[in-house]
Amino acid sequence: MVSMIKILATGIIIEDNFGGPSILHGLQEVLAELYGNDYELIYYQTTPFNEYSSRDFNFKMKTVPFSFKNFEFAFLRSKEMKEFIRDVKSSDIVVNLYGICFSDNLNPQKFSYLRMFLTAFTFKILTIAKFFRRKTVKNTCSFGPMKSKLNQKSAAFACNHLFDVVSAREAKSRDALIYDAKVKKEIFLSPDIANMMTFSNDKIFGENKIGISTSHQIIRQWEGKTGYVECMVNLCRHISQTYGISIILIPNEVQQLSDMNDITVSKEIQDKLKKESIHVDIIDSAHMSSKELKNTIASCEVIVASRYHSCVAALSSGVPTLVVGWHYKYEELLHWYGQDEWGIPTGECTSEKLISTFDSFWENRDESKKIIAEKHPDVRKAVIETGKILFSK
């Protein structure tokens, strides 16, 4: 008889961004596959939960009871802190779920030893878990590109001192750890765990819909001669005039307190099209659970996406996906599903190329659906096989 295993998970925020909850759903599915009902999962988050994000989950969800920015030694004796320490000490595994680490695209700072050692604060719960000799896992994620000294040294420090087991979701991420950061331990390779998130086969829409997963993040990484918003506006106009199919814009990241999020970008696209009397709807992602959002994506005929976990949600539910991406994580995700030809890097994206690629993509969507369906069992198998390594005592 297999004894109960206890997993403490942390490292993501399940509000305002589809990526976090989809990873957490994937983790729960992997644990259920491996242990049935003989596991306990506790999730600790640094911010409070809201009603939309937390209603999907049936395990314990708690808020981290401290912040290093506002640390008070008296708080170490509080009831919440004692409960947190008990949870860490009684766990078999403590896993960080964050999706991309040590990337020059996101952290361009210059090297200093202080910044390198601050990695321990970035992964503060794993640092505490190491102190209590718990098994620490860096769940499957992207690493790099890391040509900067800071990211190379920080990655090496984390892998050598904070992570007992490390998994990458791309071969290029694994290579970045091995050849750039000079990490000596084995780096396991697996598709993103969010591929395991379930969805409903019941179609939400009564007609075909083309989904466009908008992204404010890609604007910062954009290298194309034509701007991202202009490309999306031109594509929507082409779809409307050529195919007459309804379009829905799908914001992934929807922080309410930020002036720049996917809703802002979606509204900019919508407003430009409205001036031409072209109507597109914006999905109210901010007031949907993550399962409702995945079911919405799964109900689309095809998806054009620039958000990674929208791509994962589409492909793992059998929806053909045309990607405009800024990182090798997109091209390797497409490769897992045999969809290599349907990716456009930001530096190569023009309105003309996007539209011509979409036309070919649309024409071949039935063949894409067939290939995605054939590849999906292999993706699941790869996630589960790596899960056996990551989530064993």
CA 308 to chain centre: 6
- DSSP helix/strand/coil, 311: helix
283 lies in which domain range?
Answer: 209-374
329 lies in some domain: yes
204 lies in some domain: no
Amino acid at 324: V
Pair (83, 125) in one structural domain: yes
49 lies in some domain: yes
Mean pLDDT of 212-228: 92
Pair (81, 128) in one structural domain: yes
CATH number at residue 256: 3.40.50.2000
Pair (339, 242) in one structural domain: yes
Pair (227, 362) in one structural domain: yes
Into how many domains does the chain fold?
Answer: 2
Pair (232, 136) in one structural domain: no
Q: Is the pLDDT of residue 258 over 70?
A: no
Give the tens place of pLDDT for each residue, 30-61: 999 999 999 999 999 988 888 777 888 999 99
Pair (174, 219) in one structural domain: no
| Cis peptide leading into residue 145 (ω within 30°) | yes
Give the tens place of pLDDT for each residue, 94-148: 999 999 999 999 888 899 989 999 999 899 999 999 999 999 999 999 999 999 9
Amino acid at 311: C
334 lies in some domain: yes
Mean pLDDT of 14-32: 94
Tell me which H or E stretch contains 161. Answer: helix 149-161
Residue 371: name the closest of 322, 306, 315, 295 by CA: 315
Pair (14, 63) in one structural domain: yes
Pair (12, 70) in one structural domain: yes
pTM of the model: 0.94
Q: Is the pLDDT of residue 70 over 90?
A: no
202 lies in some domain: no
Give the model's pLDDT for residue 16: 81
- DSSP helix/strand/coil, 66: coil
Give the model's pLDDT for residue 81: 87
Pair (139, 250) in one structural domain: no
99 lies in some domain: yes
- Cβ atoms of 316 and 322 within 8 Å: the answer is no
Residue 24 in tokens? 């957490």
Pair (275, 306) in one structural domain: yes
203 lies in some domain: no
Pair (262, 291) in one structural domain: yes
31 lies in some domain: yes
Q: Is the pLDDT of residue 74 over 50?
A: no
Length of the chain, in residues: 393
